[in-house]
Amino acid sequence: MDFQAILKTVGILTLVSASLSVIISIAERVLNNYGMVELDINNGKKKLQVKGGSSLLSTLASEKIFIPSACGGKATCGLCKVSVQEGAGPLLLTEEPYISAEERKQNMRLSCQVKVKNNMKLLIPEDLFNIREFICDVKEIEDMTYDIKRLHLQLPPGETISFKAGQFMQFYTKPYGKIKEEVFRAYSISSKASEKDHVELLIRLVPNGICTTYVHTVLKEGDKVRLSGPYGDFYLRGDCEELIMIAGGSGLAPIRSLVYDVIEKGLPHKMRFFFGANTLRDLYYMDEFAQIEKDYPQFQFIPCLARPAEEDNWEGVTGFVTVALADQVDSGQGKEAYLCGSPGMLDACIKILKEKGFTDETIFYDKF
């Protein structure tokens, strides 16, 4: 083939591919143009006229109805379930792992996966309508360990938040560096439920994580951040004599709030808090929990180091938190367990708790 023929072929191919992309983009616009549709919520209690084409999760958020979500719509947390009575189409493959047989009967769907294309009928629990959005001032950022920061986020003047100790907020990042879109992630509230003009979060850096890199390297005191919440069903039931609390890393956040809640409300529960870490540099809030232990004999703090370094001169419990749990908790009788930390650690602890007689009704957790 001579040079001219090659040029001609390349030209034709370029023209064909350009025409194809124009056709695809027009088709996308036509196909995604669902116009205005109606969302009927809770049998006509609320009717919204919304623009079709986006996920149900983001469509509801733009109407200030915030459905719990921790993964930012990636279909990996399973928290964004909503009952869609009509208009959602068949269950998608991405939803299947999160929707049980019982939930299928109730038409439960992952709202981040369902696209709003036509009129829909939804059932949304009333308490989700209380979830609000806040633009907060970053009043303080403190290093708690080499990879955990504490954020003190001040609500706008005059605004307050009511939450149950143990619940979480959604934190929205702004685009930065190569990240061109806002993302949101879940963070448990570590501050006291009685402090209603601010929330504190404990955020552990995940290497290459979008939100935690933003918090650890971009966010500064004096900035403004957007939060929504409170969310979640990890909170005190308290139908028992003793609370067994277990956390690792930033999982300490909701447990701290729970401990203060029990104390401030003058509840009678005994509390034992097992905190698992690798080495001394992973421990934080040590002085504070030691002080609570002194002031309130109902509370016992048990930090456990899995691999203390020689220079740590560690004299406390050595070994995985599971070992301390197996040694020190005799049975599940009269107790509830509250756990927060990585899935691996929590699964291992839950196995031990069940061997001791705890049940699904007496074990509560947030895995992250």
- Contact residues toward ligand FES (CB under 6 A) are 69-71, 73, 75-80, 110, 112
Q: Say how far apart CA 99 and CA 172 lie, in whole Å.
A: 26
By the rule CB under 6 A, 52 interacts with ligand FAD: no
For residue 160 the two structure tokens come to 């307050």
Residue 91 binds: one of ligand FES, ligand FAD, none (C-beta under 5 to 8 A by kind): none
**Any contact of residue 253 with ligand FAD (CB under 6 A)?**
yes
Q: Within 43-179, where are the H helices?
A: 56-62, 101-105
| 338-367: contacts with ligand FAD (CB under 6 A) | 366
Among 113, 145, 250, 362, contact with ligand FAD (rule: CB under 6 A): 250
Contact of residue 185 among ligand FAD, ligand FES, none (CB under 5-8 Å per partner type)? ligand FAD
x/- mask, ligand FAD, residues 181-200, rule CB under 6 A, reads ----xxxx------------
Residue 277 makes contact with ligand FAD by CB under 6 A: no
73 in contact with ligand FAD (CB under 6 A): no
Q: Which is nearer to ligand FAD, 113 or 188 (CB)?
A: 188
Please give the Cα distance from 242 to 238 (Å, whole number).
8
Region 209-248 residues binding ligand FAD, contact defined as CB under 6 A: 209-212, 232
Spatial neighbors of 78 by CB under 8 A, at least 6 apart, are 97, 98, 110
Cα separation, 168 vs 246, whole angstroms: 17
Shortest spacing between CB 70 and ligand FES, in angstroms: 6
Q: Which does 206 bind (CB under 5 to 8 A by kind): ligand FAD, ligand FES, none?
A: ligand FAD
For the record, the structure tokens of 61 come out as 């958020």
What minimum distance in Å lies between the beta carbon of 226 and ligand FES?
17
**Which residues does 200 contact at the CB level (< 8 Å), separation at least 6?**
150, 151, 152, 153, 189, 190, 191
335 binds, among ligand FAD, ligand FES, none (CB under 5 to 8 A by kind): none
- C-alpha to C-alpha distance for 363 and 340, rounded to whole angstroms: 11
Q: Are 274 and 245 in contact (CB under 8 A)?
A: yes
User: Which lies closer to ligand FES via its Cβ, residue 170 or residue 190?
Assistant: 170
Nearer to ligand FAD, 258 or 329 (CB): 258
Position among 203, 243, 258, 277 found at the interface with ligand FAD (CB under 6 A): 203
Q: Does 256 bind ligand FAD (CB under 6 A)?
A: no
User: Which parts of the chain fold into alpha helices (H)?
Assistant: 3-31, 56-62, 101-105, 210-213, 252-264, 286-295, 321-328, 343-355
3-state secondary structure labels for all residues of 5-68: HHHHHHHHHHHHHHHHHHHHHHHHHHHCCCCEEEEEECCCCEEEEEECCCEHHHHHHHCCCCCC
Residue 162 sits in the site that holds ligand FAD (CB under 6 A): no
- Do 310 and 317 touch, CB atoms closer than 8 A? no
Tokens (6 digits) for 243 = 């609370």
- Which one of 134, 163, 168, 358 is in contact with ligand FAD (CB under 6 A)? 168
Count of residues engaged in binding ligand FAD, rule: CB under 6 A: 21
Q: Which stretch binds ligand FAD (CB under 6 A): 5-13, 137-145, 204-212, 290-298?
A: 204-212
Beta bridge partners of 302: 274
Q: Which residues bind ligand FAD (CB under 6 A)?
A: 70, 77, 168, 185-188, 202-204, 206, 208-212, 232, 250, 253, 366, 368
